[in-house]
A and B are shown apart, each in its own frame.
Chain A
Amino acid sequence: KNSFGLCCHEITHIFHSTDFEVHRNWLAITHSLPVSKWYHESTSEWTLDYPPLFAWFEYGLSHVAQHFDKKMLVVQNLGYASPATVLFQRLSVIATDVVFIYAVRECCRSVREEKGSKDLLVRPYFILAALLLWNYGLLIVDHIHFQYNGFLCGILLLSVARHLQGRHLEGAFLFAVLLNLKHIYLYIAPAYGIFLLRSYCFTKDNTDGSVRWSSLSLVRLIALGSIVISVCALSFGPFIAMGQLPQVLSRLFPFKRGLCHAYWAPNIWALYNVVDKALSVLGLRLKLLANLPKASMTGGLVQEFQHSVLPSVSPSATLICTLVSILPAVLSIWRCPRGARGFLRCLVVCALCSFMFGWHVHEKAILMAILPLSVLAVESREDAGIFLMLATTGHYSLFPLLFTATEMPTKVLLILLFTLYSFTSLKKLFRGFLLNTLEVTYLLGLIAVEIICEVVYPLLPWKQTLPFVTLLAKSVYCSLGVSYSFIRLYLSILRPTDKPKEL
C-alpha cells in the first residue's frame, strides 16, 4: 500500500514556478556563503524567510546538489533552471516525501477500526492512506508547483500520530523540529502547548473532569521544556551567538506584504475586501463618497492597500483576531480534555483559524487543516461530512495556482479523481449520505463557477476592463464553503461531551 503511494508521487513534470527559483536560491545561499551571511543576503528578491533549521536542511541538500549541477549553487545565477537542476529539485521533493509516507503509515496504524472489516478498499486504514497520499492539494503544491510541504506535513502528521499512540515526548520533539523548519506552524503551537500542559503534565483529573492542580508532574514538565528549548537552541543558537537574532526575526516575519496575497486566499478578509469594494462602488453611485483610490487590490502585485469604506486592517489586528478565535477552542480542551483526538480537533481548528484570520495567508495553508482533518474524517461520520466540504472547496481554491492551459487537464483530472474517491469511499465506510442537499448544491456550484470563469467569461467583453473578476469570484465562492466548514468544526469542539476520555 505504501509503494502504491510512492508510484503516484513519481509523476514529475517539467514545470517550475517561482517557488522553484526560491529554493534554488536558498540552496545557493546556504552552500556558497558563510553562516553569518545567510540572513543578510539579498541579491535575489527571494530572501531566506524560513527558520534556521530549514536553512540547515537546504545546506545538507546542497551537498548532494553539487553532484548534479554546480552552477545552480552560484547565488548570482538568478532564474537558473537547467534540466539537471530541475531533476535534482524534483528528486529531492520525492526523496523527502519518504518522511510523509512513513508518517501516513503511522497515522493509519493509530486509527480506530471496527472489528470484522472485510474488504480492503473499505477499511479506514486504506481510505486514510489513500486520502493522505493522494491528497490533491499536496500533489499539486509539492510536485507541480514545487514546495517541500510533503516533508513538513509528514513531520506534522508523524507528531500527531505519536500523540495518538501516546508517545507524547516524541510528538513534542517532532513539533519543535517542525516549528524550527517553518514558523507558520506557530499558529497551532497553542493547541500543542495547552494539550501537553493539561493532559501530559497534569497526570490526574478530578472526578468532574476539571484539572487537579496538585497532580502537576514536574518531571514531565521539565522533560518537555528541555526538549523544546534544546531544539530551538540547536536551530537558532548560532545566530543568537552572532547577535543576528533581530535580523533573522525581521526576515521571518515580513509584514510589509499586503493583507491578501495576489490571489486572495478564501478567508474572512476576502469577504471583507469584497464587501468593502461593493460598498465603495455603491457609495460612489449613490454619491455618498467623493473619490476612490485608483489602485485595485486584485492587481497581481503584493502591496499594502487601504480599504475605502470599512476600517483598514493592520497586521496586529489580524493577530488579535486570530488569537481571539483560537481562545475558545484552546480553553475547551483545557476545561474538558478529550484525549489525543480532542487535541487533534483543536489543532485543526487552530489551523483553520489562522487561515481565516491571518495576515497575508496563502491559499496553500488550507492544507495544514485538511490533512490532519483526514485522520478525524475516517473515524467519525460528522467529521467526514465536514472533511468533504472543506477538502473539495479547499482543493478547488488551489486551481489558480496552475494557470496555463497545459496544466488544465492535469488539475481537472486529479481533482476529479480525489473528489470521486473521497466521496465514494467515505460514503461506503459510513454507509450513507454524508452531506445534505444544500451542501451538495454548493459543491455542484463549484463546477458552475469553474465553467463560467474558464469558458464563459473570456468570451464576454468585460474581460479587458475587469480581468481579475474570475479570481475574485472563485476566492469569494470558496470562502463561503471554508467559513461554513470552519463554523461547523468549531461547534463540534465546543459541544460538551459526556466524559473526558483517557490519554
Chain B
Amino acid sequence: MDTWSLLSICVLLGLTTRWAVSLNSYSGAGKPPMFGDYEAQRHWQEITYNLPVHEWYFNTTDNNLNYWGLDYPPLTAYHSLLCGHVASLINPDWVELHTSQGFESSAHKLFMRATVLIADLLMYVPAVVLYCFYLSEGSNRKKVCLVLCILLYPGLILIDYGHFQYNSISLGLALWGVLGLGLGWDMLGSLAFVLAVNYKQMELYHSLPFFCYLLGKCFKQGMGLCINGNFIAVTVLVTFTLCWLPFLTDPGQVLQVLHRLFPVGRGLFEDKVANTWCSLNVLIKIKTILSTDTQLYLSLAATLLAALPSSIKLLTKPTLWQFKLALVNSSLAFFLFSFQVHEKSILLPALPVCLLLGDLPLPAVWFLQASTFSMLPLFLKDGLFVPYAVTSSAFVFYSVYLLSALEHSSEEELQLKSLSLLPFLSQSPGQFYLSVAAMAGLSFMSVALAPPARLPDLFPLLVSVFSFLHFLGLLLYFNVVQIAEPPSPRRKNPKKTE
C-alpha cells in the first residue's frame, strides 16, 4: 500500500489513542485542597495571564508559591500565558485570579485536553515522522511501523493525556534537536535543544551528549577550524538571552527563578521512584544517615561517574549512532543517580530509546515497557489503570508483532551475537516474555489485592525495585553496546571480523 496512506493511518491511530486516553480522569481530579498537576497547569495560566512578569516566580499576596508555584523555566510560563489568553476568550472564569482555584468542569477539561493535543500535533508528531523517514534505515514499510510504535508508546500518552502534562513539547523540541544534529544542521539542532531546556529543566539530562557530540565534531574538524562551534555557542547564548529577557533586568529575578527550578532543599528523593537511592533506601536508610549536603554531593558524583564513560566515548567518536546511545546512557544515568528525581523523568531516557526501536528492537521494547510499568503507582493514584492496561498490552503486542515481522527479512541485523559477555542479557525472547508477565502480574496485584497492614507501600515498592533492576541492567547493556561496539551488522558498516 501507498506509504503516505499507511503513514496517515498510523498517525491517525496514534491520535485516536491519545484522545481516547484523554477521556479518562486526570491527576488530582476532584481532590481538594491541592488537586494535582492539572490544577497546577491551570493555575499557571491564571498566574501568567493576570500578573506581570516580574511577579511570576515570586511569593506575593497574589501569587502563593506554596500552591503550585511555577517551577519550570520561562518557556513553560510563556506557553501558559498563551493558553491563558485563549482560555479567557472562551470563558474568563477559567483564569480568574484567585476565584478560579480548583475550577473543574467538563468544558474546561475539554479545553485543557485540546491544548495538549494541539501542542503534540505541532511539536512531537512531525518530529517523530521526520525522524523515522530521514534518520532511520530500512524499507518504507519499516519506517511507517516505527512511526506507529513510537507514537503508541504508552508512557508519554498516559502522562500527557492522562495525568496531564506537556511533555510532548519539551520532548518534541529535543527530538527536533536530534533531527537537526543528525541532518548536519548543527545550529538549528542546538537552537531546538536550548528551547527544550528552557521549557523543562529536566532536559538537562540530555545536555551532556549534545555538548559532547558537538565538541567532538569540533575536535574532529581540527581545533583551529572550529568556526562552527563558535556559531553554535553564539546561537545558544542568544537563545538563552531571548528566553530569559524579561528576567534579565534584575539579578534577583534570575536567582529566584533558578531557585525555583532547582530546589536543592527537597531531599534525595520523594515518594517511590525507580532509581538507586530509593531502592538503596530499602536496605540502608540513606536519607537519615547522611546529611542533605552529603547526599547532594554523593548523587552528583555518582551521576557524573555513571555518565562519564559514554560521554568520553561520544567525544572521541561523534557519530549519530553513538549520539543516540549516549543520549540513552546519559539520561538513564541521570535518572538513576540524580538528586530529587520524579518517576515521570523516566520519559527522558524513554525518548532516545524510542529512537533505537529500529536498531535494537528487543531491548528497546523491554525498556519502554518497564518504563511504563515503573509509573504504575502514579497511574493508580490518577485512576488510569484501564488505559494503562490497554495501552501497554497494545504496545507490547504491536511492537513485538510489527518489529518481528520485519525481522524475517533481515535477521542478522538484530542479533548482536558478541553480547555473550553478558549472558544474563542475552536477548532471549523468553526472558522478555517472563519479565512482561511478571509486570502484568504485579499490575493486577496492585489493583486487586490490598497490601498487608504492616507494609502499606508494598506494591509501589515492589514496582519501583523491579523497574530499577531492569533499568540498571539495561543501562549496563546500552553502555556496553556503545563502548565495546560489537561488530554492529548495520548495512553501512560491513561486518568486521575480530
Which of the segments A242-250, A409-417, A446-454, A485-493 contacts the partner chain?
A409-417
Contact with B16, one of A405, A413, A421 (Cβ below 8 angstroms): A413
Chain B 386-439 residues near chain A, CB threshold 8 A: 386, 390, 393-394, 397-398
* B111, closest chain A residue (CB): A405
0/1 interface trace, chain B 365-402, chain A, CB 8 Å (1 if under): 00000000000000000000010001001100110000
Which of the segments A7-15, A178-186, A195-203 contacts the partner chain?
A7-15
Contact with A417, one of B2, B13, B106, B398 (Cβ below 8 angstroms): B13
Q: Is the CB of B12 within 8 A of A413?
A: yes
User: Residues of A contacting B397 with CB < 8 Å?
Assistant: 3, 7
* A421, closest chain B residue (CB): B9
Q: Is the CB of B2 within 8 A of A410?
A: no
Can you add 5 more A-B contacts, CB < 8 Å, to A11-B20, A413-B15, A414-B16? A119-B1, A417-B9, A417-B12, A421-B9, A428-B2
Q: Is the CB of B12 within 8 A of A11?
A: no
Q: Is the CB of B1 within 8 A of A121?
A: yes
A425 at the B interface (CB under 8 A):
yes
B68 at the A interface (CB under 8 A):
no
In the assembly, what is the distance between CA of A11 and CA of B13, in Å?
A: 12
User: Residues of A contacting B8 with CB < 8 Å?
Assistant: 420
Q: Whole-angstrom distance from the CB of A84 to the nearest CB of chain B?
A: 13
Q: Jot down 10 A-B pairs with beta carbons below 8 A, ordered by A.
A: A7-B398, A10-B390, A10-B394, A15-B23, A409-B19, A410-B23, A413-B19, A417-B16, A420-B5, A420-B12
A424 and B1 in contact, given A10-B394, A409-B117, A417-B9 (Cβ under 8 angstroms): yes
A61 at the B interface (CB under 8 A):
no
Contact with B12, one of A15, A405, A416 (Cβ below 8 angstroms): A416
B140 at the A interface (CB under 8 A):
no
User: Residues of A contacting B1 with CB < 8 Å?
Assistant: 119, 121-122, 424-425, 428
User: Residues of B contacting A428 with CB < 8 Å?
Assistant: 1-2
Interface residues of A, dominant DSSP: helix
0/1 interface trace, chain B 329-340, chain A, CB 8 Å (1 if under): 000000000000
B110 at the A interface (CB under 8 A):
yes
Residues in chain B within 8 A of chain A (CB atoms): 1-2, 5, 8-9, 12-13, 15-17, 19-20, 23-24, 106-107, 110, 117, 386, 390, 393-394, 397-398
In the assembly, what is the distance between CA of A122 and CA of B107, in Å?
A: 43
In the assembly, what is the distance between CA of A425 and CA of B394, in Å?
A: 23
Q: Is the CB of B5 within 8 A of A410?
A: no
User: Residues of B contacting A425 with CB < 8 Å?
Assistant: 1
User: Residues of B contacting A437 with CB < 8 Å?
Assistant: none
Q: Whole-angstrom distance from the CB of B21 to the nearest CB of chain A?
A: 9
In the assembly, what is the distance between CA of A3 and CA of B24, in Å?
A: 24
Q: Is the CB of A424 within 8 A of B110?
A: no
Residues in chain A within 8 A of chain B (CB atoms): 3, 7, 10-15, 119, 121-122, 405-406, 409-410, 413-414, 416-417, 420-421, 424-425, 428
Q: Whole-angstrom distance from the CB of A201 to the nearest CB of chain B?
A: 44
Q: Is the CB of B9 within 8 A of A410?
A: no
Contact with A410, one of B19, B107, B394 (Cβ below 8 angstroms): B19
* A428, closest chain B residue (CB): B1
In the assembly, what is the distance between CA of A405 and CA of B19, in Å?
A: 12
In the assembly, what is the distance between CA of A249 and CA of B1, in Å?
A: 51
Contact with B9, one of A14, A122, A420 (Cβ below 8 angstroms): A420
* B17, closest chain A residue (CB): A11
User: Residues of B contacting A119 with CB < 8 Å?
Assistant: 1
* A12, closest chain B residue (CB): B386
In the assembly, what is the distance between CA of A10 and CA of B398, in Å?
A: 14
In the assembly, what is the distance between CA of A426 and CA of B301, in Å?
A: 61
In the assembly, what is the distance between CA of A10 and CA of B21, in Å?
A: 12
Q: Is the CB of B12 within 8 A of A406?
A: no
Q: Is the CB of B16 within 8 A of A410?
A: yes
Q: Whole-angstrom distance from the CB of A464 to the nearest CB of chain B?
A: 21
Q: Is the CB of B110 within 8 A of A406?
A: yes
* A90, closest chain B residue (CB): B386
In the assembly, what is the distance between CA of A121 and CA of B394, in Å?
A: 20
User: Residues of A contacting B398 with CB < 8 Å?
Assistant: 7
User: Residues of A contacting B386 with CB < 8 Å?
Assistant: 12
In the assembly, what is the distance between CA of A14 and CA of B398, in Å?
A: 25
User: Residues of B contacting A14 with CB < 8 Å?
Assistant: 23-24
Q: Whole-angstrom distance from the CB of B364 to the nearest CB of chain A?
A: 20
User: Residues of B contacting A410 with CB < 8 Å?
Assistant: 16, 19-20, 23
Q: Whole-angstrom distance from the CB of B1 to the nearest CB of chain A?
A: 5
Q: Whole-angstrom distance from the CB of A404 to the nearest CB of chain B?
A: 8
In the assembly, what is the distance between CA of A424 and CA of B8, in Å?
A: 11
User: Residues of A contacting B24 with CB < 8 Å?
Assistant: 14
Question: Which of B13, B23, B117, B390 has the most chain A CB atoms closer than 10 A to its own CB?
Answer: B23
User: Residues of B contacting A13 with CB < 8 Å?
Assistant: 20, 23
In the assembly, what is the distance between CA of A12 and CA of B397, in Å?
A: 18
In the assembly, what is the distance between CA of A3 and CA of B397, in Å?
A: 9
A406 and B106 in contact, given A416-B12, A420-B12, A424-B1 (Cβ under 8 angstroms): yes
Q: Is the CB of B394 within 8 A of A7?
A: yes
Q: Whole-angstrom distance from the CB of A345 to the nearest CB of chain B?
A: 28
Q: Is the CB of A406 within 8 A of B23?
A: yes
User: Residues of B contacting A10 with CB < 8 Å?
Assistant: 390, 394
Q: Whole-angstrom distance from the CB of A447 to the nearest CB of chain B?
A: 15
User: Residues of B contacting A416 with CB < 8 Å?
Assistant: 12
In the assembly, what is the distance between CA of A404 and CA of B178, in Å?
A: 40
User: Residues of A contacting B390 with CB < 8 Å?
Assistant: 7, 10-12
* B12, closest chain A residue (CB): A417
Q: Whole-angstrom distance from the CB of A131 to the nearest CB of chain B?
A: 13
**6 smallest beta-carbon distances between A and B, as pairs:** A424-B5, A413-B16, A417-B12, A409-B19, A10-B390, A11-B20
Q: Whole-angstrom distance from the CB of A5 to the nearest CB of chain B?
A: 12
